[in-house]
Amino acid sequence: MPELPEVETTVRGLKAKVLNRAFVDVWSDWEKIIKKPKSFKEFKKEIRNKKIKKVWRRAKNIIFDLSEDYSLLVHQKMTGHLLYGDWDKADNANSYIHLKFFLDNNKTLALSDLRKFAKVELWKKGDLLNSKEFKNLGPEPLDKNFNFQKFRKLFVGKKGKVKQVIMNPYVIAGIGNIYSSEALWRSKIHPGKSVAKLSNKELKSLYKAIKKVLELGVKLGGESFSDYRKPDGTKGNFDSERKVYKREGQKCQRCGVKIKRIKVAQRSSFYCPFCQKL
């Protein structure tokens, strides 16, 4: 959290606000949030006067392509979210601001992060695109060219539980705990089922469910039952569509049996024991 829908919502919200804006200055009370370069002083010097040419997403990363062939990467991790406007400390979910970019239109691009796990990196554009971690990311599930045949090939020779595999960003990009649980519920697949035992019918159902739940998440502006907020500070609206995630003990909206929680690869996974039999 945030996952693909939240990151895509952030990117779309910022596109309308920050394109062609330049960085005037940077402030932080937690300089360790800058991972590249190692010195905050150097980061501040390098980014000053750079103009934002493009904002895009790769997996859960937000990338700002800048002038002079630089790229600014922001990964919000568990509790981070980017805000645009006139932001300062506030007594709400946006109050944990640890990084502020001051723009040339007197607005602020701020990063609020309760747990301080987010990372910010300044790269030369070519080095970022050719970095090992970036190049090894899996395909984008909402890409127009990502068809069922390509999805099915991802599972060839794979081992492990389906929940674990679809959350692996080097298999498929951007899916985390929330949307994997939701997609598996919609496709009636137990999160602990081995990927080697998935039938072609189940794979088709899972492919469609992943597409549908991610598209719905983007349409509704993401999930904000926890820390995530949109760039204007407001909540996303996916919560009304959440069927199993964090609903342990509540009745399944399809069959009425109580939702259960198990651990899959050290992560909580929510499922219906009747609809999603192992």
Distances (CA, A) of 13 to 36, 96, 98, 231: 25, 20, 20, 6
* Structure tokens belonging to residue 93: 């979910």
Q: Give me the active site residues, please.
A: 2-3, 60, 267
Helix, strand, coil percentages in the chain from 3-state DSSP, rounded to 5: 30, 25, 45
CA-only gyration radius of the chain, Å: 20
- What's the start-to-end Cα distance of the chain, in Å? 26
Complete DSSP assignment for 133-169: HHHT----TT-TT--HHHHHHTTTT--SBHHHHHT-T
Question: In the numeric block, which tokens belong to residue 155?
Answer: 């599972």
